[in-house]
Structure 1
Amino acid sequence: MDQTNGTSTDFILLGLLGFGHPKLLILIILLIYTVAFAGNSVLIVLIWLDSHLHTPMYFLLSQLSVIDLAYISSTVPKTASNYFQGKRSISYFACGAQMFFFLTLGLAECILLTLMAYDRYVAVCNPLRYAVLMSPKVCLQMAAAVWTGAALAALVHTVYPMHFPICGSREINHYFCEMPAILRMSCEDTSAYEMVKFASTIVFLLVPFLLILASYTLIFLAVLSMNSRKGRNKALATCSSHLTVVCLYFGQAIFIYMTPTSSHTPEQDQVGAVLGTIVTPALNPLIYSLRNKEVVGALQKCLRRFYNHENGRSL
C-alpha cells in the first residue's frame, strides 16, 4: 500500500453522508447559516447597544454568539464554495487550519457554557457576592482564559493528527476536515493518540458537563426554597434556556469525541457534526432571545428607535 505523509497533496471532501452536496441540501444549509449569522449578529449588537444588557450574563452570552458565528463560518462557507465551484478538494494546510479553528471554537464553547452555569449559580445561590465574583475584570479574565486555553488545546489536537501518514486514498468521508475523519485515513496505529484524545475529552467535555450539572442541581435546590413565585419563574426560565443549549451541544460532542473512532460510522459522526456546527449555532440565539424578556425588550426598543429615526428623516 502506497504511503505518503500528506504534505503536498490535497484532500478530497466527499460531502455530507457520502452524497456530495445535492442542491437542495446545500440550500437548506445556507438557509440555516443565514439564520445563524443574522441571529447571532443581532444578539451581539443588542448586547453592545443596550446598557441594560451590560451585565456578566449577557457579556458571556455575547461571547457565545461570537463563538457560534465563527463556528458555523469555519465549515459552511468552504462547503458552499466547493459546491458552487464544482470542487471537492481542500489543501493540506487549509485542512489543518479548518481543523484548528473548528476545535478552538468547539473547546471554547465547552468552557464558556460552564462559566455561564457558574454565573447563574453565583446569581441565584450567592447573590450578595455576585458583584465581586463576577466583576467586569473577572469577566474579561474569564474570556481571555476561554480563548487561550481552547487555542492551545486545539493546536495540540491539530498538529498531532495531521502528522499521521496517510495510506492510499486521500478522500475524507466528511463535509469538512474533522479529527476523527483524518484519523480513519491513517495507516499507523492511532491507539496511543486515541488515549490522549480520550483524556482531553474528559478535561474539556466530561468535567465541564459534570460541573454544569452540579451547578444546576444547587440552583434548583435554591430555587425550590424561594418564597417569591416570580423570582422562581425568572430563575427557571433563564436556567432552562441554558440547559437546553448544554444538552444540544454536549450530547453530540460527547458521542463523537468520548467514544473510540472505530465504534461509530462516518455517517453518525457527520450527523453529530451537523447538530453541533450548523443546527446549534442557529438555535442558540433563538433559544436565548425568544425565552428572554430582556432581550426581546431590547430588540423592541432598538426597532422603535430605528422606526422613529426613519420617520424623522422622511418628515
Structure 2
Amino acid sequence: MNTVLFLTIAGLFSVTLMGNIIRIHLIRLDTPLHSPVYFLLSQLSFIDMMYISTTVPKMAANFLSRIVNHFFCEVPSLLPLVCQDTSQYEYTVLFSGLIILLLPFIAILASYARVLIAVYQMSSGKGQTKAISMCSSHLIVASVFYGTPLSTYTGPHTLHYSEEDKVVVVFYSIITPLLNPFIYSLRNKEVMGAMRRVLGKWIFVQKI
C-alpha cells in the first residue's frame, strides 16, 4: 500500500511540476503574454514549484520509511507524541494561523467581493458569465488552499485524527498547486493561443 501511495504522490508531483514549468516557459517565450498579469502568473507558478518541492518529495519518501503517523512532520501529528502540556504552544500556533492564514484569506474574499460587485454592474451578460465562471474557480482554489490548513492549525489537537489530517494536507500541499496551472492556463484563451503558437514554431523547426 505504501508503494502505491508513493507512486501516486510522485506522479502528482511530476504533473504539477511540469504544468508549472510549461506555463513559465509559455509566458517567457510568447511576446503577447509579456504583461504584468502574466508576469504575476509566472511568479505564482514559480512559488508553487518551490512550495511543493520543499514538502512533497519528503512526503513521498516517508511512505517507504514512516515512523510518525503522517506524511511529514506536521504540528498536529507531533503534538500527541509530546509528554508535557502543549496548551501554550497550541495557543501560539492558533494565533499564528489566524494571522498568516485567516487575514490573507479575508483580504482575498474582500477583493473578490469588489470584483463581483463590478461584474454585476456590467452591461454585457456574456462578460458577466465569463467573469463569474473565472472568479468562482479562483475562489474554490483559494478556499481549498486557505481553508484546509486553517482547519489543521486552528483546531485543538484532541480533535485531530491522523487519517483526516492526511487527507487535508494532500489538498493544500498537492491539489492546489496541481490545479493552478489548469485553472489559470487551460481556461485562458490567450495562454492556449500562446501554446498553439509555441507548438507550431517547434513543429516548423522540426520539419526544417
Alignment TM-score, normalising by the size of structure 1: 0.61
**Aligned equivalents of 1:208, 1:216: Cα separation in 2:** 12
Letter in 2 for 1:184: P
Correspondent of 1:174 among 61, 66, 70: 70
Q: Secondary structure at the match of 2:77?
A: helix
Matched, 1:300 2:196: yes
Q: 1:57 to 1:183 in 2, by over 3 A?
A: farther
The corresponding residue for 1:77 is 57
Q: Give unpaired runs (5+ residues) of structure 2.
A: none
The corresponding residue for 1:243 is 139
Deviations 1:129-159 (A, max 9, x none): xxxxxxxxxxxxxxxxxxxxxxxxxxxxxxx
The corresponding residue for 2:95 is 199
The corresponding residue for 1:263 is 159
**Aligned equivalents of 2:139, 2:166: Cα separation in 1:** 24
Report deviation, 1:284.
1.5
Deviations 1:4-30 (A, max 9, x none): xxxxxxxxxxxxxxxxx5222222222
Greater relative CO, 1 or 2 (CA 8 Å, sep 6+): 2
Report deviation, 1:293.
1.0
CA RMSD of aligned residues (A): 2.0
Q: Secondary structure at the match of 1:174?
A: coil
Report deviation, 1:247.
1.9
**Aligned equivalents of 1:297, 1:240: Cα separation in 2:** 23
Report deviation, 1:237.
4.0
Say if 1:174 and 1:270, in contact at 8 Å, map to a contact too: yes
Q: 1:82 to 1:30 in 2, by over 3 A?
A: same
Report deviation, 1:81.
4.0
Correspondent of 1:40 among 9, 20, 43: 20
**Aligned equivalents of 1:87, 1:223: Cα separation in 2:** 51
**Aligned equivalents of 1:60, 1:188: Cα separation in 2:** 45
**Aligned equivalents of 1:79, 1:201: Cα separation in 2:** 22
Correspondent of 2:34 among 54, 70, 84: 54
Say if 2:60 and 2:71, in contact at 8 Å, map to a contact too: no
Report deviation, 1:184.
2.5
Alignment TM-score, normalising by the size of structure 2: 0.89
Say if 2:185 and 2:192, in contact at 8 Å, map to a contact too: yes
Q: 1:183 to 1:57 in 2, by over 3 A?
A: farther
Matched, 1:284 2:180: yes
Q: 1:192 to 1:286 in 2, by over 3 A?
A: same
**Aligned equivalents of 1:50, 1:181: Cα separation in 2:** 45
Say if 2:6 and 2:61, in contact at 8 Å, map to a contact too: no
Letter in 2 for 1:22: N
Letter in 1 for 2:176: T
> Superposed, which structure 2 residues align to 1:13-162 within 5 Å?
22-81=2-61, 87-88=65-66
Greater Rg by CA: 1
Report deviation, 1:220.
0.9
Report deviation, 1:263.
1.4
Q: 1:60 to 1:260 in 2, by over 3 A?
A: farther
Report deviation, 1:87.
3.6
Say if 1:238 and 1:292, in contact at 8 Å, map to a contact too: no
Report deviation, 1:222.
0.8
**Aligned equivalents of 1:269, 1:239: Cα separation in 2:** 28
Say if 1:197 and 1:257, in contact at 8 Å, map to a contact too: yes
Q: Secondary structure at the match of 2:103?
A: helix
Larger relative helix fraction: 2
Letter in 1 for 2:123: N
**Aligned equivalents of 1:187, 1:82: Cα separation in 2:** 24
Report deviation, 1:233.
4.0
